[in-house]
Structure 1
Amino acid sequence: MFDLFGILFPIVFFMVLGTFIMTIAKGLSTWNKNNHSPRLTVEAAVTAKRIHVTHHRHANAGDVSGAHGFTDTSSTKYFVTFQVESGDRMELSVSGPEYGMLAEGDTGRLSFQGTRYLGFERD
């Protein structure tokens, strides 16, 4: 007998599990690479700023039909692009308060480790 659920469920389950494992592995790899990178401080200028907002809708009481309503949440990530003396640009993720303190055109000393933002000291 042909059982479609019996065939598709394991395939979808392992695809989701594989995606989850790959996401964790990529995060750990980036974390490890940053930890083994030297801490650098270079002259730089802020050339651009951007925000990435994601919206999420969750069903209340675990009821996906929405009979109990939904809870909407959002999360915001902040990014700043710095241009160093060599002309190279790098976009680094920063905290909200740090994002608010930086303005395009600011110059100073950028401290970073790999892709990890450590700070910016204005001239």
Structure 2
Amino acid sequence: MYEFGYPGGFGFSLFGLMSTVIPLVVIGGILFIVIRGLSTWMSNNAAELRQDEVTVISKRMEVWGGSNNSSAHTSYYITFELSSGERVEFGVSGTQYGSCREGETGLLAYQGSRFKGFQPRATAAATASVAERSQEQPAQPVQSKPRQEPFRPQKISNRSAEHYNWGASCDGWHLVKGDDLSVIHERMPGKTEEVRHYHTRARQFFFVLSGEASLEVDGTRLVLREQEGAEVPPGVWHQMKNERFDDVEFLVISTPPTRGDRIETE
């Protein structure tokens, strides 16, 4: 009466055991993740909202997904050193990631393990100074300072603007080329694309004038048709593509300008 005395019986019993254990392990793992996430959420809600003078120690990104035709996504993290010397890392948005610099000091707001905001020292000091002055004296009417030299508006077009070539036979015209603002008219022939990249400081807006463009922003693909546009904040990976055969023309508006402010993918 030896139950596992022949190979068929042993294999059948082992298969039955595994088909019972594996689903239990999977369900147990899912329950563990849900319970741990709920516990962290409740702990953060119960924690005191704190503020501390900190220093930005390091920044890092994690790219996940992007295989088997799935979209890629990027997670952003910043490590701060508290006034006590303790170092803590928080997950942040792409905008906050792009606006912070390593070595920068400022005021960190957090609740448990939940990041609430970071205000650089210069901005925090300016805000406090304005608040103090508003309490000390009544607000004075704002008077515009007369210009020493009158502004003379000028028309500009692709025929008169500074022209340059980039990528694979792509064109660009500098419509506005200032220290705080850049407006560029670009043309991409069919089946061309730029290198995937991000900017550490510049915020950009892409606006299609004619044709159709594909703009990938942090793993999300946007199809921009004529008279449509999209914003890209600093610190967010993006790539403009022309997947069609005809040309696409669009405006790229950047503030501040992107000169020396471009990080390309490896």
TM bracket, shorter-chain basis: 0.7 to 0.9
* Partner Cα distance (1:73, 1:7) in 2: 37
* Alignment partner of 1:74 is 2:84: no
* Alignment partner of 1:55 is 2:55: no
CA shift, 1:56, in A, is 4.7
* Partner Cα distance (1:31, 1:113) in 2: 11
Give the aligned partner of residue 152 of structure 2.
Answer: none
CA shift, 1:55, in A, is 2.6
Give the aligned partner of residue 29 of structure 2.
Answer: 19
Using the TM superposition, name which of 40-49 and 3-12 deviates more: 3-12
> For residues 1-123 of structure 1, what are the structure 2 equivalents within 5 Å?
1-2=9-10, 3=12, 4-57=14-67, 70-123=68-121
* Partner Cα distance (1:7, 1:48) in 2: 48
* Partner Cα distance (2:66, 2:31) in 1: 22
CA shift, 1:5, in A, is 3.0
* Larger helix proportion of the pair: 1
Task: Point out the structure with max Rg over C-alpha.
Answer: 2
Q: TM-score, normalised by structure 1?
A: 0.84
* Partner Cα distance (1:29, 1:118) in 2: 19
DSSP-derived class of the 2:69 partner: strand
* Partner Cα distance (1:103, 1:54) in 2: 24
Identity %: 37
CA shift, 1:93, in A, is 0.7
* Partner Cα distance (1:47, 1:81) in 2: 5
DSSP-derived class of the 1:86 partner: coil
CA shift, 1:85, in A, is 1.2
* Partner Cα distance (1:23, 1:105) in 2: 35
Cα 1:43–1:37 change in 2 (3 A) is: same
RMSD value, Cα: 1.3
- Which AA in structure 1 matches 2:70? D
* Partner Cα distance (2:66, 2:42) in 1: 30
- Which AA in structure 1 matches 2:35? A
* Partner Cα distance (1:23, 1:74) in 2: 22
> Runs of at least 4 residues of structure 1 off by over 3 A?
none
CA shift, 1:98, in A, is 0.9
Cα 1:21–1:56 change in 2 (3 A) is: farther
Gaps of 5+ in 2: 1-8, 122-266
Which of structures 1 and 2 has the larger relative contact order (alpha carbons within 8 angstroms, sep 6+)? 1
CA shift, 1:18, in A, is 0.3
DSSP-derived class of the 1:43 partner: strand
